[in-house]
């Protein structure tokens, strides 16, 4: 899991200790084409990094395509300029890294540059 996190631009320059802690709270999420990955206000909040496949954000203000390396999750994590996602649906078979909200909150407090990079990647 550490190498998979390191391969993502968002986490590429984190030190080994930080990656180990983050990996401990990261799981893999796989979904076949057509399945919902997340739904607004659904349990299991956090940050998701799409590793493989294509997905679509279905939001009140439009549809947005996601591909490998894109991040999605709660508006509180991503910033106000990001459309509120009602749902994220897999368009093809997908694989994501799902990182628990407490781990992301700790990472953002420890590494402020991650927050800036996160907003860039999610806009």
For each successive 10 residues of the chain (123 residues), what is the average pLDDT?
A: 92 92 93 86 73 88 86 62 66 94 89 84 63
Yes or no: say if 3 and 77 are a contact pair by the CB < 8 Å rule: no
Dmax over Cα atoms in the chain, in whole Å?
Answer: 40
Question: What is the pTM for the complete model shown?
Answer: 0.82
Kind and range of the H or E run holding 73: strand 71-73
Angle at which helices 112-122 and 101-110 cross, to 10°: 120
Helices (H), 25-100: 75-78
| DSSP bridge pairs for 56 | 65, 89
């Amino acid at each position: 899991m550490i190498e998979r996190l390191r391969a993502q631009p968002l986490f590429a320059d984190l030190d080994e200790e930080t990656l180990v802690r983050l990996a401990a709270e990261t799981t893999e999420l796989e979904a076949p084409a057509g399945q919902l990955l997340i739904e607004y206000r659904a349990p299991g909040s956090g940050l998701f990094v799409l590793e493989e496949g294509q997905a679509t954000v279905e939001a009140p203000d439009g549809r947005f395509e996601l591909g490998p390396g894109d991040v999605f999750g709660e508006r509180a994590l991503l910033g106000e300029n990001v459309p509120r996602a009602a749902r994220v649906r897999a368009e093809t078979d997908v694989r994501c890294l799902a990182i628990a909200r407490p781990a992301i909150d700790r990472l953002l407090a420890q590494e402020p540059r991650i927050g800036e990079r996160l907003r860039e990647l999610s806009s």
